[in-house]
Structure 1
Amino acid sequence: MLDANEFGDAVAMLYEAAVVPEIWPRAIGRLAEIAGCTGGLLFAHSGQGTNWVASKEFAPVFQRFMEQGWMNRNARMAGLLAHGGTGFVTDHDLFTDEEMERTALYTDFLRPEGYGWGTATHVRSSSGDNIVFTLERKFELGPVSRRETLLLDGIRPHLARAAVLASKLQLQRAQASLASFEKAGSPAALVGSGGAVSTINPSFEALLGQVIIRARGSVALDDERANALLQKALADLARDRLGGTCSIPVPRKDDSPAFIIHVLPIRRQALDIFSRAQAMLVVTTSERSLQIETSLLCELYDLTRAEAAVANGLLGGLSVDELSASRGVTRETTRSQIKRVLAKTGCRSKADFLRRLAPLAHFPTGVFPGRG
């Protein structure tokens, strides 16, 4: 069995990737080198969808895999989960040569892509995600050997701990975000990729009745017209077509006050595969005195603080000249920053930006933790 110290750099990269998601592609690529493979990927699969990250070489291949719907007919994954082992397994651990010749995943996708041999392992996280790590080898290079899987088994405990650590860190960050809104008195909930509510804060729970959480976490509003708007926003979110903030007014009912429910898409880092939230639902009322929050813009749209300052200026009606003068930069710098702000927020023009982001001005200062 491998002494993991022989590949200390690979082990170190795994733990770094758990905290800094941008490192995952390099960490995966390093493990692929150890096993004599071409590339690989790590994906977390749950009832709310599949998030994944791959090495640079294999990312385009897996993108096509997802686009062509192979995840829903992934014979390899089904075999891996059924195998139940605690180490890395190969294609020959799951299928005979004859079975591979009859399996569409191999004949219709992997081999036409130039692949067809690999090794994989499975970890189940405390949140219920199936975390699968797979390394892929070009078909012409032949199957992954037992010696190579034994090398990987020496690193597997570190891989499992890094993946579980990353998952726990994301859960803690999500809970911290909701706690921040709770502290400010704002009801808030996190929505996953399938449109289901995964976590709510106590203030949001107090709205149950006007807000309805159904089976499997689907959310609805008691008011029919408002609910139709919410369901459309969630459907657009699931198709990645919700370009900006969607704000839905909910009328007063009996003794319950009117409120506005905002659907805020979370522009998380694409490599942050353990982030299960795609949007946040935040409730505000017209009675409160509220203002814009710079760190909220940074968190939701990946803006730098300089870009967030420009965004605030645009929301405040400042011109390019006024923005430049107030910040001591040139017009060219300001124009460049405006372009980046529009691109990151998914807006095509300043008017579109104002329409989509104006609702963020409703949120109180300090409700969303900044990235620092």
Structure 2
Amino acid sequence: MANVRAHRLAEVVDRIYGAVGDPNSWGDVLQEVAETVGARGALLFKPSSTASETQGFWSPSIDDLVDWSLRDGKDLHNPRPARAFRVGLGRAVTESDLFSEEELARDPFNREMIGRLGYRWEAGGVIAKIDGAPLLFTTQRRADQERFGRPELEALEALFPHFARAAQFSVRLAMARAEGALFAFDQMACGGILLGSKGRVLKVNACAQRTMGKGIDIAGGRVVAANPASNAALQGIIQAALSPEVRLKRERTRPTVVIERHERGPLIAYAIPLRGGIRDVFNPGKAVLVLEEPQARRHVAGAALAETFGLTPAEVRLAVALAEGKDLATIAEEHRVSIGTIRSQLKSLMAKTDTHRQAELVTLVLRYTVNQVR
């Protein structure tokens, strides 16, 4: 096993499971897997007929390969996944197991990948199925390296079951997080609709369900507005949130759409890309469509909070401000007190409500949110 760092396999297994809780670490984990079998880089992905819709994680060392396949190679058909499907789950193979030398030389995708980029050798296989779609792993070597041998394939096959279990855990965790986000929007009296990679509706919270029926609805698994102009704008913000080029960043404003509805007044809609974005191979949910009723405003029932937890008026004001998303410095400035005073009030507030983190406190406060119609 000259090209396999056998002593690192156990460490790599631990890192694979560690990535379940930290999806941003998958690139580094795949790099470690590649180095363990003497390869340049590795890719974990769900293939698609359209390159721009391919979801996956990859090691930073093969950015050039991924960039090429999504940009210059996007119009070339990649025959490798289809050949790998025939092999079955859990078996590692090389490009030479899937193609003859004549086929590699003749096929445009293979010819470009080898000739232009220099990625001559590849090993991988189908690891599992995620929501019915195959999950593939591949690792690459350049032409100046030797081809993958049986020791490397055996090492990969030993890792494949761990990848499969980590994938299952990751999907469950991602859905739990998405459901938590929908619940949070419910607590803020906002409709929340979880959308998949092509805009299909995966889950709908209670507030969103109450908005359905007049002016906006779910048809054919997608959110649609009855008004043609509103629907065109709605589909535009959904597609923007699902774009592969979207970059998650904190913005003061988001593109919003006013959906005209007869009898019930307008509805405000905006779409939020989820962490990991469209490329997150394990997260079926890619964005949340948020729906707000302009004629309703959210109001924290301060009297109920005070009575339930024995809060002072200052503590109630702090709880309300935190629920509105304000930070401690802003609250101190608005109330014309020192930041130290606000921190002292926060400490007392958390003790009285038996909460240990600010996010936990805000979640509790939002349970005392009610709607008031203007």
**Which TM-score applies when normalising by structure 2?**
0.71
- Cα gap change, 1:141 to 1:311, in 2 (>3 Å): farther
Aligned residue in 2 for 1:247:
256
Aligned residue in 1 for 2:271:
263
Aligned residue in 2 for 1:42:
44
Separation in structure 2 between the aligned mates of residue 104 and residue 127 of structure 1, nearest angstrom:
31
Which residues in structure 2 correspond to 1:270-289 (within 5 Å)? 272-289=280-297
Amino acid of the structure 2 residue aligned with 1:14: I
Separation in structure 2 between the aligned mates of residue 20 and residue 291 of structure 1, nearest angstrom:
35
Q: 2:115 is matched with which residue: 111, 123, 135?
A: 111
Equivalent residues of 2:241, 2:271 under 8 A apart: no
State the Cα distance separating 1:57 from its structure 2 match. Answer: 1.0
Separation in structure 2 between the aligned mates of residue 132 and residue 206 of structure 1, nearest angstrom:
40
3-state DSSP class of the match of 2:12?
helix
State the Cα distance separating 1:191 from its structure 2 match. Answer: 2.3
Shifted more, 131-140 versus 26-35: the winner is: 26-35
Q: Deviations over 1:24-76 (max 9, x none)?
A: 22221222122221111112346993222211211232122112244862111
Which residues in structure 2 correspond to 1:1-372 (within 5 Å)? 7-45=9-47, 49-70=53-74, 73-209=77-213, 210-215=215-220, 217-239=221-243, 240=245, 245-254=254-263, 256-266=264-274, 268=276, 272-290=280-298, 366=366
Give the count of matched residue pairs.
310
State the Cα distance separating 1:252 from its structure 2 match. Answer: 3.5
Q: Deviations over 1:265-302 (max 9, x none)?
A: 3354798542343421111112322379xxxxxxxxxx
Aligned residue in 1 for 2:306:
none
3-state DSSP class of the match of 1:57?
helix
Q: Deviations over 1:290-338 (max 9, x none)?
A: 379xxxxxxxxxxxx9xx857995xx9x9xx999x9769xxxxxxxxxx
Separation in structure 2 between the aligned mates of residue 176 and residue 280 of structure 1, nearest angstrom:
12
Structure 1: runs of 5 or more not aligned: 293-304, 329-363, 368-372
Separation in structure 2 between the aligned mates of residue 249 and residue 79 of structure 1, nearest angstrom:
48
State the Cα distance separating 1:174 from its structure 2 match. Answer: 1.0
Equivalent residues of 2:90, 2:128 under 8 A apart: no
**Which TM-score applies when normalising by structure 1?**
0.71
Separation in structure 1 between the aligned mates of residue 233 and residue 69 of structure 2, nearest angstrom:
33
Aligned residue in 1 for 2:344:
none
Separation in structure 1 between the aligned mates of residue 142 and residue 328 of structure 2, nearest angstrom:
47
Equivalent residues of 1:111, 1:139 under 8 A apart: no
Aligned residue in 1 for 2:303:
none
Amino acid of the structure 2 residue aligned with 1:275: N
3-state DSSP class of the match of 2:147?
coil
Aligned-CA RMSD value: 3.7
Q: Deviations over 1:147-166 (max 9, x none)?
A: 21012111211121112211
Separation in structure 1 between the aligned mates of residue 179 and residue 148 of structure 2, nearest angstrom:
41
Separation in structure 2 between the aligned mates of residue 12 and residue 141 of structure 1, nearest angstrom:
28
Separation in structure 2 between the aligned mates of residue 179 and residue 158 of structure 1, nearest angstrom:
32
Shifted more, 259-268 versus 234-243: the winner is: 234-243
Separation in structure 2 between the aligned mates of residue 34 and residue 93 of structure 1, nearest angstrom:
22
User: Max radius of gyration: which structure?
Assistant: 2
Separation in structure 2 between the aligned mates of residue 14 and residue 116 of structure 1, nearest angstrom:
26
Separation in structure 2 between the aligned mates of residue 170 and residue 9 of structure 1, nearest angstrom:
24
State the Cα distance separating 1:185 from its structure 2 match. Answer: 3.8
- Cα gap change, 1:262 to 1:94, in 2 (>3 Å): same
- Cα gap change, 1:69 to 1:157, in 2 (>3 Å): same
Amino acid of the structure 2 residue aligned with 1:153: E
Amino acid of the structure 2 residue aligned with 1:247: T
Q: Comparing both chains, which one has the higher relative contact order based on Cα–Cα distances under 8 Å and sequence gaps of 6 or more?
A: 1
Amino acid of the structure 2 residue aligned with 1:286: P
Separation in structure 2 between the aligned mates of residue 133 and residue 183 of structure 1, nearest angstrom:
40
